[in-house]
Chain A
Amino acid sequence: MSDPGFFQLNVRALLGRSYPRVVGGMRELSWIFFETVLPLLSIAAYVFIYKAFLRPNPSPDQLNMVNALIGYVVIGGTMTAFWLNVLWSMASQLYWEKEVGNLQLYMMAPMSRMALLGGMAVGGMFMTSTRAITTLVVGVFIFSIVITITNPLLILAVFFVTLIALYGMGMMFASLYLLYGREAWNLSALMEEPIFLLSGFYFPVKALGQAVAIGASIIPATLGLDALRQLMFSGGGPGSQFYFFSPELELAVLCVLAAVFLVLAKLSLAYLEKLAKREGRLTTRHQ
């Protein structure tokens, strides 16, 4: 059998590495409860706060406003699944792979390191998408949210570029976490709740002020959420004063973030591999 070409090898490697997450994840059906029902509870808390704003006999504008705010919360709750997956699963994956002895087998295989990281990301995206979509559909149904979609292609583009940028960030974190071991896990704990606040997972991010919103834009979820909300609730909502940039500009910035994170992920893993070969640890268990 002749050797596969570079493209064939790496596409197969990427699909192979994504397989455990795509298939394996579906074999633990407890996720339906833990990752769909439980997130809905925290979403519900915000929903009831926004609903409390409604006076008796609300005007159509008030109804639209609250509908949009509840929609913001549900979309934020949906994106929470991706953020947690990036933070706790993607970022810590290489460290975990090292501990079970997979990492050295990956490192001695002929595939590109980006195929390895890409497979982890694609698998994570797929697995989390099924969970996020379930949360979205159930949330929209339970809370009777009216969504107005005017530009579905732009929504899809924003959604996928946000995911690529988010997972690119996770790929970069993966090398960092491997370098610092379990200590880096504290970073995940440190980043989890503050990012929920700074990226505006449950409210329009601009409510925090322009400067904070710009700073928080380094996390791709910030701009992704803002753009998705603008595109899905164009008929109502708190008004343009709470929107950050235009969806088109936010998409452009997300594309740049995605490219930067992917390049940084490639460079950091290459650096890590070099370090591992020189120092004789990092990729190998007990070293």
Chain B
Amino acid sequence: MTYAAETRELTRIFKRKAKRHLFKRKPAEDGEKENGGPVKALDHVSLTIKEGELFGLLGPNGAGKTTLIKVLCTLLLPTSGSAYVAGFDVSKDVGQIRRKINMVSGGETSGYGLLTTRENIWMFSQFYGIPTKVAKQRIDDLMHTFGLTDKKNTKVRTLSTGERQKMNMIRGFVTDPEILFLDEPTLGLDVNASRTIREYVMNWVRKREHKTVLLTTHYMAEADMMCDRVAIIDQGRVLALDTPANLKKMIRKESTVQLEVDTLKSTAPLGVIKGINNFSSKDDIVRNVTSLTIIVEEESAISDIMSAISAQGSKIRSLRKTDPTLEDVFISMVGKGLEE
């Protein structure tokens, strides 16, 4: 069976070679180092993405999500292992792969500020050989869908962040790729812009045949809502891969307790309480609050948690028990939240 994308024991190591210098320079001062140890961005990653699937890669910054996308987009070579897109090897068959894919990243600033939105997208469509008439029709349709029609003759440099990202999304869709890679496409966008993008992506995959999306995100709700299957990735390794529902079932026997307490001096005492599987904490300096998400195996642990918090002189502001979310799955596996 041919998958939309497949990796087998894919490993990517960045060696951090010294920067090339054209002119001789003085040695680095104050311990500044240009060479570092190798970084394993992907560590024996094996996964398959089916045709027609909206596949999510969920992980914190530096987990290896973008590296995986770049390997699949033929921008990086694997250090070892192999990767295939639409059945073609990323190391050998770049020409075939590039005709079938496109990529959009969050916070992208691509294009030229002097061009209008429509001209900019048209320009990128030409790199895929789309006839101008077809490209312009698609651009107009997509601009209408994304609510950008009134900006089509606006210079790119005057667009807001949300408008710019919508333009980037249109750039991704205008080539009608078989496989679209979306790298944190809603990063930094407001609720409305994010919703427009999410809805369009979901409809694009569901309503059209043979379209596949690989989405990376660190927004749990986004992955939960959009993806058919999700791979949780951390430090270059795939920790779990399943549907969001099945991932959540993995910790169903456990409970998630969310607390807001006065800022804690230390969360270390929580780590030794029996019955706690894992937990994450986040301090809000402005509100003087520590938010805790704790995965408990035994509900009796809750009273121990409250005692440990009180022992630090901290007051509990709120406590609630919630259904497990993908974030809880992540915390349960990694021992930290995605935004830590």
A interface residues, Cβ below 8 angstroms from B? 1, 3-4, 8-10, 12-13, 15-17, 19-20, 23-25, 27-28, 100-102, 104-111, 116, 179-181, 183-184, 186-187, 276-280, 283-284
Contacts of A9 in B (CB 8 A): 128-129
Once A20-B115, A20-B123 are accepted as A-B contacts, the answer to whether A108 and B22 lie under 8 Å apart by CB is no
Contacts of B95 in A (CB 8 A): 110
Once A24-B112, A24-B115, A180-B22 are accepted as A-B contacts, the answer to whether A108 and B75 lie under 8 Å apart by CB is yes
Contact among B21, B76, B98 with A109 in the assembled complex (CB-CB below 8 Å): B98
Residues of B contacting A: mostly = loop
Contact A102 B127 (CB under 8 A): no
Contact among A4, A186, A284 with B75 in the assembled complex (CB-CB below 8 Å): A284
Q: A109-B127, A110-B128 are in contact. List 13 more A-B contacts (CB 8 A).
A: A4-B129, A12-B129, A16-B125, A16-B126, A17-B126, A19-B126, A101-B109, A102-B110, A105-B110, A106-B127, A108-B98, A181-B20, A184-B22
Contact A102 B21 (CB under 8 A): no
Q: Confirm or deny: B111 has a beta carbon within 8 angstroms of a beta carbon on chain A.
A: yes
Complex-state Cα separation, A185 to B134, whole angstroms: 40
Q: For the complex, count residues of B whose C-beta is within 8 A of A.
A: 45
B interface residues, Cβ below 8 angstroms from A? 12, 14-15, 17, 19-23, 67, 70, 73-77, 95, 98-99, 101-103, 105, 108-112, 114-115, 119, 122-132, 134, 155, 176
Cβ distance B299 to chain A, nearest Cβ, rounded Å: 46
Contact B76 A280 (CB under 8 A): yes
Cβ distance B292 to chain A, nearest Cβ, rounded Å: 33
Cβ distance A95 to chain B, nearest Cβ, rounded Å: 13
Contact B70 A284 (CB under 8 A): yes
Contacts of B103 in A (CB 8 A): 105, 108
Cβ distance B127 to chain A, nearest Cβ, rounded Å: 4
Which 9 A/B pairs are nearest by Cβ-Cβ distance? Answer: A16-B126, A4-B129, A9-B129, A24-B114, A109-B127, A110-B98, A180-B22, A20-B112, A12-B126
Once A1-B134, A108-B103 are accepted as A-B contacts, the answer to whether A277 and B76 lie under 8 Å apart by CB is yes
Contacts of B126 in A (CB 8 A): 12-13, 15-17, 19
Complex-state Cα separation, A9 to B95, whole angstroms: 12
